[in-house]
Structure 1
Amino acid sequence: MGVKGLQCFMDSCCPEACVTVCLRELARQHVTKRQQGCTSTANTTSPTLVVDGMACLRHWYSCKDWVCGGQWREYMDVLKGWVEAFTSAGIRLVFFFDGVVEEQKRQVWVKRRRRVNREISKMFRHMKAYGKQPGRELFCLPSGLATFTCFALRSLGQEVFCSVQEADYEIASYARQHGSMGILGQDSDFLIYDSAPYLSVAKLRMDSLTTVMYDRHRLCQIIGLTVTQLPLLACFLGNDVVSEEKMQHIRNNAMATYRTNNPTTLSGAPQGQKVLAVSHLVSFLWGKEEQEAELIPQSLDLSAPHRELLKRGVRSYLLPGHKAFPRGDTSAQSFAFEKHVSPEILKACREKHVATEGFMVYSVVCQGVIECSNTLEDEENAELLPQALVYKPCRQRIYGLLLLHGHDGSSVELPAIREWFVYPVNPLKEPEVVHPVPISLPYDLPSLDLLWFGIGPEVSTLRVMSFLSIFDCQEFSDLYGDIEDFLLATLCLVTYIVLQVQTLSQEDVDAYLSQAVCLRLKSSDELQQIKLPVLSSRAVQLGSLYVRGLSNLLGANCASGCPLPNDALMPWHSFDGRLFHSKYLLAHSGTEKTVLLDSDPSCLSLFLRLRESLTETCRKRGRVLQSRPYAPEQGHRITPGPRYRERHAGGNENWRGKGETTGGHGHGGGWRERGEASGDPIHFNAQSHSYGHDGGPQNTSRPQIQSRGRSYYNRGRYRPTSRWSQPPAPGT
């Protein structure tokens, strides 16, 4: 949320309420205070700082080529150094991230997403015009940054929570209940909550661990209000619950009265006048009341709908312990698809979500709503599908795995998920209703309880096959345990992208696979030394497409009972934006494979093996990759390799003459012309399923899942070598 104009008012008009503090000293004072007779049941000695993770992302991500999809190794180093700075000062950190978009704030979310899409369009136009990244005025966070930051912080030993309500509310509640030393964020709502001190992350200096504390009590002294009256002030000024427009008449009347009563103080900033005028109104209204029992003055002249809206807005600021207008008990809430899953699954979904381990499953099973924010996608590129459409079949199979077990197959009461996905040409006026699709297995769909809670090698194999089936990559089961987990995940993802995006070329695949193989051997410093002669807008979109795919891998892995460790699906193992971009430019300039693989024989051998598996799997599904090099855009050139010069001896005119412009390959119209923006499901090719609709095997020579040996057996992940032509025994 955020109170309109309040942060600016504090910074410009209330310098005495903006106090520079040293966090080390604040921590020492906090410990002393808690040790001096505090009887709270909360931890009385640990100075805890509650961190608004979403507010910190822009400050954490300081990597150079932000448009390329993320310099994830470098970003991990930044997070590690940030955490160590607080740890060395004896400060415990607790992080919160947004886990839901409350429906009452959906339109605010939509408005922000549309604004960011406009900025992304400007960013792509700049890249295509100049071949380089725009300035920070068009800065956009890499796709999936919030999702993967949660896992990154957990890997650093930090306590991380994903909210099931408004994140600001949960942050303030946690800080109040646990007696935290402060809230680190950048949201004026933290002034309104009667909670721990609000500390600015925007003004945080890491070298000295100093920042600005916004003092709500001094603010109240300046504007003549009590802390309990701040929620009403916030709603009159406008926030994410009560829009500015709804209370415009209240502010107009307040300003008129203020100017009449204070003609000598009108030289201040307009925003300052507005805050002071509304504060005087709140004080006047409460002066007419005998008590503040209901928090909404009865003398306030409002229509019934506006009064109810105002009441809801004030209630949103009331933390546990307030008697008036409690938010409600979320533990007693009903879930969207509780009749489709067991109570144990519902409980596990919520626990996984709160612990940031259950990407997607809580939103699907418990809420029936899922959203995805902006992605770096070029709205003028009609050939590359938006990621929302590319991964729709994958999501449908995830939904099917979560919700269709035990379903009789009839359309009656078939579950439907409401999707809010941001992509070009989607107006976001209403959610798209998407139905689940069953995964293709040679036996009956296993129950979710078996996949999540079952034990034994047969169940482990079920998890692997379920995961691979979501991406139509069942053949890769023989690679499980034979190659590293992150490489198996990469192979599944790139193969899936090839099957879904018909304009993907052999060069694109070579760029994806070569950078994943080479990344294993590169340090963060080496990655930062990579120089990019030019930026390709197409490569930028392909990079974001891959990272969004990793999020879908996470969702599929969780739905399948986690056959792979989540760590194997993290981008810092398989993707670096700068490295991918360099491989893309090399691959499309005809560079020889030896050079593409850094002249490393082991990398080349592994690359060729992965590419052969991908090519064969795609061939079985009627998808044959072709070589289609893309020229750099708008006259920006890199030195082409010999294969490129040989293939395109006629020069750039010959390349463009084939219809292979920078907007995409000439295949008779883009995805918009094919109607794929309408929201209709994108289906796999007719040959993409290994098993018939009756569940029987069409290919009787299914690959075996090989044993991983003793080390993996000790980890409880041993896979039997028996062929899966028969379903597992009941009860396993």
Structure 2
Amino acid sequence: MGVKGLQSFMDRCCPEACVPVDLREMARQHVAKSQQVCTTSANTTRPTLVVDGMACLRHWYSCKDWVCGGQWREYMDVLKSWVEAFTLAGIRLVFFFDGVVGEQKRQEWVKRRRRVNGEISKIFRHMKAHGEQPGRELFCLPSGLATFTCFALRSLGQEVFCSVQEADYEVASYARLHGSMGILGQDSDFIIYNSAPYLSVAMLQIDSLTTVLYDRQRLCQTIGLAVTQLPVLACLLGNDVVSEERMQHIRNGAMATYRIHNTAPHSGAPQGQMVLAVSHLVNSLWGRLEEEPGLIPQSLNLSASHRQLLKRGICSYLLPEQEALQGGAISALPSAPAFENHVSPEILKACREKHVAAEGFMVYGVVWEGVTECSNTLEDAEDVELLPQALVYKPCRQLIYGLLLLLHGHDGSTVDPPAVREWFVYPGNPLKEPDLVHPVPVSLPCDQPSLDLLWFGTDPEVSALRLRSFLSVFDCQEYFELYGAVEDTLLAALCLVTYIVLQVQTLSQEDLDAYLSQAVCLRLKSTQELQRIKLPFLSSRAVQLASLYVRGLSHLLGANCASGCPLPSAALMPWHSFDGRLFHSKYLLSHSSTEKTVLLDSDSSCLSLFLFLREKVTDTCRKRGRVLQSRPSDPGQSPKTTPGPRYRDGYTGRPPGGGESWRERGETTGGHGGGWRESGEAWGDRSEYENTERLWERGVYGIGGVRGGRHFPPQPHSYSHFHDGRAQNMLHRPKQSRRGSYQSRGRYRLAPRWSQPPAPGT
């Protein structure tokens, strides 16, 4: 992002503009300057640093295993330490994150996504060849990192904003309006904006709080321009608004003229010569005292469309009060929300407020912009067995759109259902145009509630309606009775795992066991224990399943927002429910036919909880005709499958909307079409699994059951309510007021051992 080659020019050819600074000293000087302006020191506020959160993600995520889905607990510790360093120095932080992708930048966004797809292919080839992740040169951020970082920083008490325009513009505007001490980021656009000083996060040393300040005044002295001429320079060099290709002929002419008058080449790289050549052109055509940089000289060889593009690019750097001086704003908000006819004004207002405060997910883009996007995910384009996450979660998104947008007339008919434009990156999608996805109504025992009722309703019955709406998005209505009996984090994980198993027909019993054992065991692990986990090698399939799960967490978040937040957002955060290294270890163990006691860390309470949750998933899936089978694979590589038909999106596998599936091709289990079980390819004789299932059905693995002479006592608030796989005397309606920490309610704890197993239901 930013201006092509400008920052490298400053680093290599203009060192006098790259000033080392101590942020503590800079903060003290900022306070002293503010006190001189104010009549009394009481009016002086803490020095504020505006942080470009998107630019900091690579700086923050320093955890070792980045391909495994994210080491979220460790990442949270990094964020906490980072924030504390500035807090102790008396510096206030304000964070901004990208909230929209402007249509004028869509092509640039697509170009980057395609480039990253190529890098992801290299990552998977390396893993399959060497059984380990590649070096940092192919580093890829874990899925959903930006989304969850917003919530992480808010949980640490920080001010976080999500943009409704170009994020760089909002950062620069906020910093200028509030007199901030600086902007911390890694984008040369902040050199162009006439705002607060631009500080490099790449050069930041957190222990000493030192970094490099890129001084725009010194840059201008070196290249012979005024600060007000920097937007023209940026657009002619190429940026996200004016692509490098559009102005190539202008730069070629400038370079030719520059070389005629400067026979001795500049001491820097060719890009350094280019910056100087374009600077000379700008100075000669615009003049140092040009009253309106937005005016394009007629002598510049541009077509009408390119002239208009250049003007728009130049004006995009003008901040609000600067726009007023130029005769009008150019960064105005859209004239009207995309789907204002499908939601009330109150919903529109709430959507925007939640989005700006980084409290919501997905709903603003859908309702206001009519568009949603998802960046690259670690998915192997050569694996024909696993569907891309975008297709796995498409039915879920359609139901979310249904909650947000579907209006019903008095006769029960749906009123003018709109289509949401989806820009989702996945193998086989050329990203030439968005997918048009229509909303689908959720299935509820009553009529679909209005969005106003779900979001603003105060009657006790509304709390239950919110939860039922949320569960319906994942086809998990049966889990309503589990609310209050299990931790909210586990309830959410149960919904997500069930949905994945129902949607991905190639998932096996081993995959389910890996997902559930990870969720159960994570609750008892410290960050240090998670860091000490050793992985003998990496499985490319486990990497994909981890990314699939984390993308699912963001869909849980979107469904929760659309349903009126029946669950606290904290319960959906990955640091409470997922660790990539732990999941990978459970995957390798599960596919190596490890005993369940070992898989559950030899902890009897974890084993009981795991078996209970697994029974819930398998029972729910069985009711929908989905029977899981054991299918252990070589953990070192993806299971070999017969390629299926190639669909419109170029992906081979189970079609998202019908057609020939792996079940119909005879690759399924359980007697459908002569699958692997009939052909004798099942692992072992499955006696361990069959014995486990029989023991569970008889209550031996139930609460208070016995295995091998060991007693498993009932767990408070939860297990004592269950026997024979059914819920008894449970909380049937969520309370409207739910104060306190979500972790403290319904937590599974190991109770004192009983000398005799309890009677069912006690």
Residue 673 (structure 2) aligns with: none
Shift in CA distance, 571/270, structure 1 to aligned 2, threshold 3 Å = same
Q: How do 1:654-693 and structure 2 match up within 5 A? A: 662-665=638-641, 669=644, 682=657
Residue 214 (structure 1) aligns with: 214
Instruction: Identify the match of residue 470 of structure 1 among 469, 473, 477.
Output: 473
Residue 648 (structure 1) aligns with: none
Percent identity between matched residues is 76
Shift in CA distance, 170/500, structure 1 to aligned 2, threshold 3 Å = same
Q: Which has the higher contact order (CA 8 A, sep 6+)?
A: 1
8 A contact 2:374–2:423 mirrored in 1? yes
**Residue type of the alignment partner of 1:404:** L
Q: How do 1:462-501 and structure 2 match up within 5 A? A: 462-501=465-504
Instruction: Identify the match of residue 517 of structure 1 among 498, 520, 523.
Output: 520
8 A contact 2:182–2:197 mirrored in 1? yes
Residue 606 (structure 1) aligns with: 609
Residue 693 (structure 2) aligns with: none
**Residue type of the alignment partner of 2:168:** D
Residue 509 (structure 2) aligns with: 506
Q: Distance in 1 between matches of 2:43 and 2:122?
A: 49
Q: How do 1:49-198 and structure 2 match up within 5 A? A: 49-198=49-198
Q: How do 1:332-411 and structure 2 match up within 5 A? A: 333-406=335-408
8 A contact 1:6–1:188 mirrored in 2? yes
Q: Distance in 2 between matches of 1:35 and 1:314?
A: 35
How far residue 680 of structure 1 moved from its aligned partner, in angstroms, is 7.5
How far residue 269 of structure 1 moved from its aligned partner, in angstroms, is 2.4
Shift in CA distance, 679/392, structure 1 to aligned 2, threshold 3 Å = farther
Residue 706 (structure 1) aligns with: 731
Residue 316 (structure 1) aligns with: 316
Q: Distance in 2 between matches of 1:526 and 1:167?
A: 38
8 A contact 1:479–1:488 mirrored in 2? yes
Shift in CA distance, 537/234, structure 1 to aligned 2, threshold 3 Å = same
8 A contact 1:384–1:664 mirrored in 2? no
3-state SS of 1:481 partner: coil
Shift in CA distance, 17/584, structure 1 to aligned 2, threshold 3 Å = same
Q: Distance in 1 between matches of 2:154 and 2:287?
A: 50
How far residue 674 of structure 1 moved from its aligned partner, in angstroms, is 11
3-state SS of 1:3 partner: coil
8 A contact 1:393–1:682 mirrored in 2? no
Q: Distance in 2 between matches of 1:68 and 1:288?
A: 54
Shift in CA distance, 516/81, structure 1 to aligned 2, threshold 3 Å = same
How far residue 37 of structure 1 moved from its aligned partner, in angstroms, is 1.9
How far residue 217 of structure 1 moved from its aligned partner, in angstroms, is 0.5
3-state SS of 2:202 partner: coil
C-alpha distance after superposition, 1:396-423 (max 9, x if no partner): 0000010013257768732100000000
Q: Distance in 2 between matches of 1:319 and 1:40?
A: 30
Q: Quote the RMSD (CA, aligned, Å).
A: 2.7
Q: Distance in 2 between matches of 1:705 and 1:389?
A: 36
**Residue type of the alignment partner of 1:96:** F
Residue 459 (structure 2) aligns with: 456
Q: Distance in 2 between matches of 1:15 and 1:682?
A: 58
- Runs of 5+ unmatched residues, structure 2: 664-725, 743-762
How far residue 249 of structure 1 moved from its aligned partner, in angstroms, is 1.2
Q: How do 1:249-268 and structure 2 match up within 5 A? A: 249-268=249-268
How far residue 298 of structure 1 moved from its aligned partner, in angstroms, is 4.4
**Residue type of the alignment partner of 1:51:** V
3-state SS of 1:365 partner: helix
Q: Distance in 2 between matches of 1:90 and 1:63?
A: 27
How far residue 676 of structure 1 moved from its aligned partner, in angstroms, is 6.5
Residue 572 (structure 1) aligns with: 575
8 A contact 1:289–1:297 mirrored in 2? no
Shift in CA distance, 326/605, structure 1 to aligned 2, threshold 3 Å = farther
How far residue 43 of structure 1 moved from its aligned partner, in angstroms, is 7.2
- Runs of 5+ unmatched residues, structure 1: 635-661, 687-700, 718-732
Q: Distance in 2 between matches of 1:673 and 1:199?
A: 46
Matched, 1:2 2:2: yes
Shift in CA distance, 76/372, structure 1 to aligned 2, threshold 3 Å = same
Matched length: 675
3-state SS of 2:378 partner: coil
Shift in CA distance, 466/627, structure 1 to aligned 2, threshold 3 Å = same
**Residue type of the alignment partner of 2:225:** L
How far residue 45 of structure 1 moved from its aligned partner, in angstroms, is 2.7
Q: Distance in 2 between matches of 1:41 and 1:315?
A: 37
How far residue 244 of structure 1 moved from its aligned partner, in angstroms, is 1.1
**Residue type of the alignment partner of 2:587:** Y
**Residue type of the alignment partner of 2:644:** G
8 A contact 1:35–1:45 mirrored in 2? no
**Residue type of the alignment partner of 2:138:** L
Residue 647 (structure 1) aligns with: none
Instruction: Identify the match of residue 416 of structure 2 among 413, 417, 442.
Output: 413
Shift in CA distance, 325/379, structure 1 to aligned 2, threshold 3 Å = farther
How far residue 268 of structure 1 moved from its aligned partner, in angstroms, is 3.9
**Residue type of the alignment partner of 1:616:** D
How far residue 308 of structure 1 moved from its aligned partner, in angstroms, is 0.1
Residue 646 (structure 1) aligns with: none
Q: Distance in 1 between matches of 2:301 and 2:608?
A: 77
Residue 529 (structure 1) aligns with: 532
Shift in CA distance, 409/677, structure 1 to aligned 2, threshold 3 Å = farther
How far residue 356 of structure 1 moved from its aligned partner, in angstroms, is 1.0
C-alpha distance after superposition, 1:380-435 (max 9, x if no partner): 11010000000000000000010013257768732100000000011001000000
Residue 635 (structure 2) aligns with: 632
Residue 645 (structure 1) aligns with: none
3-state SS of 2:376 partner: coil
Shift in CA distance, 38/116, structure 1 to aligned 2, threshold 3 Å = same
8 A contact 2:488–2:567 mirrored in 1? yes
Superposition TM-score, scaled by structure 2 size: 0.85
Q: Distance in 2 between matches of 1:92 and 1:716?
A: 27
Shift in CA distance, 389/709, structure 1 to aligned 2, threshold 3 Å = closer
8 A contact 2:100–2:163 mirrored in 1? yes
Shift in CA distance, 540/268, structure 1 to aligned 2, threshold 3 Å = closer
Shift in CA distance, 681/341, structure 1 to aligned 2, threshold 3 Å = farther
C-alpha distance after superposition, 1:52-102 (max 9, x if no partner): 111110111011111000000000000000000111000000011111000
Shift in CA distance, 43/199, structure 1 to aligned 2, threshold 3 Å = farther
How far residue 330 of structure 1 moved from its aligned partner, in angstroms, is 3.8
Shift in CA distance, 84/290, structure 1 to aligned 2, threshold 3 Å = closer
Q: Distance in 1 between matches of 2:648 and 2:228?
A: 57
Q: Distance in 2 between matches of 1:74 and 1:82?
A: 12
Shift in CA distance, 43/112, structure 1 to aligned 2, threshold 3 Å = farther
